[in-house]
Amino acid sequence: MKTPFITSKKLAEITKQFPTPFHLYDEKGIREKARAVNQAFAWNKGFKEYFAVKATPNPTILKILQEEGCGVDCASYVELLMSHKVGFEGSDIMFSSNNTPAEEFQYARELGATINLDAYEDIAFLQEVAGIPETISCRYNPGGTFELGTDIMDHPEDAKFGMTKAQLIQAFKELKALGVKKFGIHALLASNTVSNDYYPELARQLFELAVEVVAETKVDLDFINLSGGIGVNYRPEETANDIAVIGEGVRQVYERVLTPAGLGQVKIFAELGRFMLAPHGLLVTKVTHKKQTYRTYVGVDASAVNLLRPAMYGSYHHISNMSNPDGQLEVVDVVGSLCENNDKFAIGRALPESRLGDTLVIHDAGAHGFSMGYQYNAKLRSSEILLREDGQAQMIRRAEKPEDYLVTLYGFNFEK
C-alpha cells in the first residue's frame, strides 16, 4: 500500500481553497528526507547534497533545502539564475551541464559555481569563453553496461554524457597545467535505481578510478560526486531505498579503497533529485467524466502536461481515490483531456469506483513532475501548493492564465 502524506479531510479543505489540478508538496517530508540524507553521510566531513534543480525548480522548495544544508545542481541559465536569487552562491552551486552554451559557462563562472565538465573538448571551449577556474570537476563515462549482480541497470555506452577514462586523465593533466588547483570526479551511471547497492557499486568504480587517476596525474582530488540516480519505489510492491544503508555502504567502500590510498580527505557529494522530492509531491486531480466503450475510462482534470512520465516512459504512478477509498474495485484507464492517445495516467488499473467529482491523488509526482510539464493543446501549467509543517497550504506558484500563453506572440492584439 501507498499512503498519501495527507488525510482526505485535510485535502478536501485544500481543494476547496485551490482549484485542481495542482501539485501538492509536503514540507515536513522534504525536510526529513534532507536530514536523513545528511545523516547517512555524516561520517564524511565534507559531504554535501546538491539538489538537482531540474527535478523541482521552485524557489520555495530550494529555500527549504537550503535551510537543511543542501546546495543546488544546475544545468541551465535559468536554473542558475533562480538558484542565485534564492541565495545560493559559489561552491553551493554545482553546474553539471552538457553541450553547454558559452553564456551559461560565463554565468556559472560569475556566480563562482563549481563547473563539472562533461566533455574533454570542453576544456578549450571553457578556456576561450569563460576562463579556467581553480576548482573543476570532470564527468566520467566508463562505457559498457552498468550492472548490479546479474541485473543490467543501464547502458552508459549509449549515454551522451561524460568522458572516457583516457580523456579524463588527459583532461586532469591539461587542467593542472592550466592552473587548476582542486579536482573532482563525477558520474551518473544509472537512473531511478530501486536498490541500496547502486551508490556503493558506483562508489567502488569511482574510488578505484580516483586512486588510479591521482597516482598518474598527482592532482589534488577534492571531491567525488556520486550525482543522482537513487530512485523511488513508484510501485507499491517495491521497497523504498534506505539512505542509511546506502550511506553505510559507501562508507565501507571509502574505508576500503580511498583511505588506504591516502585519499581519506576526499569529500563525497551527491546530486539527488528524484530521491529528495518525488515521494513528497502529489498531483491532485478531480474526476470530471466517465466513459464506457471497449474499456472504462475515468477522465480527470489533469493531463500529461502536468505529469509526463506515464505518457513518455510508460511509468507507473500509484493512484489513490481520496473521496472513495473503500469503493468497489473497477478496472479503468485514467485519462487526461489531450488529443493524444498516450495521455493516460493508468491503463487497466483496478481502482475503487471513481465517481464524478471524486478527488484522486497521483503519487510520487514531486520530482520530474511539474518540471517536465508543457503546453501541448494550449493547456496551461497548473499551480504548485506547499503543505507547510504547521498544516497551512500555501500557493508557491500560481496556475498560468490564458494571457501567459499569449504574451510571447506577435502579430495579433489579444486585448481587443
Phi-psi region of 73 (alpha: psi -120 to 50; beta: other; left: phi over 0): beta
Q: How far is the CB of 366 from ligand PLP (least distance, A)?
A: 11
Cα distances (angstroms) measured from residue 153 to each of 6, 243, 317: 33, 19, 20
Whether the CB-CB separation of 206 and 226 falls below 8 Å is answered with: yes
Stretch that binds ligand PLP, among 21-29, 127-135, 273-281, 332-340 (CB under 6 A): 273-281
Out of 71, 229, 281, 369, which residue is the one contacting ligand PLP (CB under 6 A)?
Answer: 229
Q: How far is the CB of 246 from ligand PLP (least distance, A)?
A: 13
HSE-CB for 75 with a 13 A CA cutoff: 17
Task: Please say which residue, 26 or 271, places its beta carbon nearer to ligand PLP.
Answer: 271
Does the footprint of ligand PLP cover residue 193 (CB under 6 A)? Answer: no
Burial (CB < 10 A; 0-12, 13-18, 19+), residue 402, is: exposed
Does the footprint of ligand PLP cover residue 233 (CB under 6 A)? Answer: no
Cα distances (angstroms) measured from residue 282 to each of 128, 186, 199, 240, 395: 45, 31, 27, 17, 14
Residues 162 to 191 in contact with ligand PLP, rule: CB under 6 A? 188, 191
Shortest-Cβ-distance residue relative to ligand PLP: 228
Among 13, 54, 5, 3, CA closest to 31: 5
Choose, from 70, 74, 138, 339, the residue flagged as catalytic: 339
Stretch that binds ligand PLP, among 102-110, 127-135, 266-274, 396-404 (CB under 6 A): 266-274
Q: What angle do helix axes 77-86 and 102-110 make, rounded to 10 degrees?
A: 20
Site map for ligand PLP, 347-376, x if CB under 6 A?
Answer: --------------------x---------
Task: Please say which residue, 4 or 231, places its beta carbon nearer to ligand PLP.
Answer: 231
Cα–Cα distance measured from residue 276 to residue 226, given in angstroms and rounded to the nearest whole number = 15
Out of 48, 274, 280, 309, which residue is the one contacting ligand PLP (CB under 6 A)?
Answer: 274
Stretch that binds ligand PLP, among 26-34, 83-91, 265-273, 398-406 (CB under 6 A): 265-273
Whether the CB-CB separation of 82 and 57 falls below 8 Å is answered with: yes
Residues 93 to 152 in contact with ligand PLP, rule: CB under 6 A? 96
Does the footprint of ligand PLP cover residue 310 (CB under 6 A)? Answer: no
Task: Please say which residue, 73 or 358, places its beta carbon nearer to ligand PLP.
Answer: 73
Out of 272, 300, 360, 362, which residue is the one contacting ligand PLP (CB under 6 A)?
Answer: 272
Residues 45 to 84 in contact with ligand PLP, rule: CB under 6 A? 52, 54-55, 73
Task: Please say which residue, 273 or 352, places its beta carbon nearer to ligand PLP.
Answer: 273
Cα distances (angstroms) measured from residue 211 to each of 125, 214, 225, 266: 28, 5, 15, 11
Q: How far is the CB of 119 from ligand PLP (least distance, A)?
A: 13
Whether the CB-CB separation of 351 and 359 falls below 8 Å is answered with: no
Peptide bond into 21 cis (omega under 30): yes
Q: How far is the CB of 194 from ligand PLP (least distance, A)?
A: 12
Does the footprint of ligand PLP cover residue 33 (CB under 6 A)? Answer: no
Stretch that binds ligand PLP, among 151-159, 226-234, 249-257, 324-332 (CB under 6 A): 226-234
The per-residue b/e assignment along 41-52, b for 16 or more CB within 10 angstroms, e otherwise, is beebeebbbbbb
Task: Please say which residue, 249 or 336, places its beta carbon nearer to ligand PLP.
Answer: 249
Q: Which one-letter amino acid corresponds to residue 28? A: K
For ligand PLP, how many residues bind (rule: CB under 6 A)? 16
Task: Please say which residue, 18 or 88, places its beta carbon nearer to ligand PLP.
Answer: 88
Tell me which residue has cell 514540507: 27
Q: How far is the CB of 91 from ligand PLP (least distance, A)?
A: 16
DSSP code for 132: -
Whether the CB-CB separation of 327 and 334 falls below 8 Å is answered with: no
Cα distances (angstroms) measured from residue 239 to each of 151, 234, 303, 323: 17, 9, 28, 27
Active site residue 339: yes
Task: Please say which residue, 37 or 334, places its beta carbon nearer to ligand PLP.
Answer: 37
Out of 105, 172, 275, 345, which residue is the one contacting ligand PLP (CB under 6 A)?
Answer: 275
Among 263, 231, 359, 241, CA closest to 302: 359
List, by residue number, the catalytic residues: 339
List interacting residues with ligand PLP (CB under 6 A).
Answer: 52, 54-55, 73, 96, 188, 191, 227-229, 271-275, 367
